[in-house]
Amino acid sequence: MASPEDERPLIFGGFEGDDNRPEAIALLANMRAALPSLEALLQECSSHWNFEDRIYRFYHQSFKVYWLQDSTAKIVDALRALAPDRKLDEWFVQIVSEGTGRTFEPQSNDRWLQETRPIVEAFFHARFFLEMAVRYAKELERPPRVVPSGWAALLALYRLR
């Protein structure tokens, strides 16, 4: 059962209303402008062959899980394009770095989790931020000071929180 504390909104900067920082306004404007391409990318990365099948391939111990790296790279490129002048969160960059640029070799099967789990993790983190960008580009007209968790995560990704 949720406590009353769980139902309180998170307040950005201690005030209700809009977040008037130019960086937050620009981020949301760029997300809204890119919404059609972000939606298409989310649909592609959520499709049977790019999501369901490739996660199955992780558990089936198939080299096809390595193909997730292509989707991860596309997502990261799209996220970077939303705020090209901003650096992305260091942890996110590290997760993506550790989960991309990998090549399957027969001996990878002997270290399957160590080799492929970072690929899946990078994809999940990237896809999460893509999904949040689509959601909040649709839902928000202005950056709020009362921040939903997904919007707060996006602000953190772009080092705005």
Q: Is 25 exposed, middle or buried (0-12, 13-18, 19+ CB in 10 A)?
A: middle
pLDDT in tens, 47-64: 999 999 999 999 999 999
User: Which two tokens mark 110?
Assistant: 């002997």
User: Which two tokens mark 55?
Assistant: 């996660």
pLDDT in tens, 84-110: 999 999 999 999 999 999 999 999 999
The pTM assigned to this predicted structure is 0.89
pLDDT in tens, 124-143: 999 999 999 999 999 999 99
Domain boundaries, the chain: 20-157
pLDDT in tens, 103-118: 999 999 999 999 999 9
pLDDT in tens, 10-69: 444 445 679 999 999 999 999 999 999 999 999 999 999 999 999 999 999 999 999 999
Which DSSP category does 102 fall into? Answer: -
pLDDT confidence of residue 141: 94
Are 27 and 82 in contact, with CB atoms under 8 Å apart?
yes
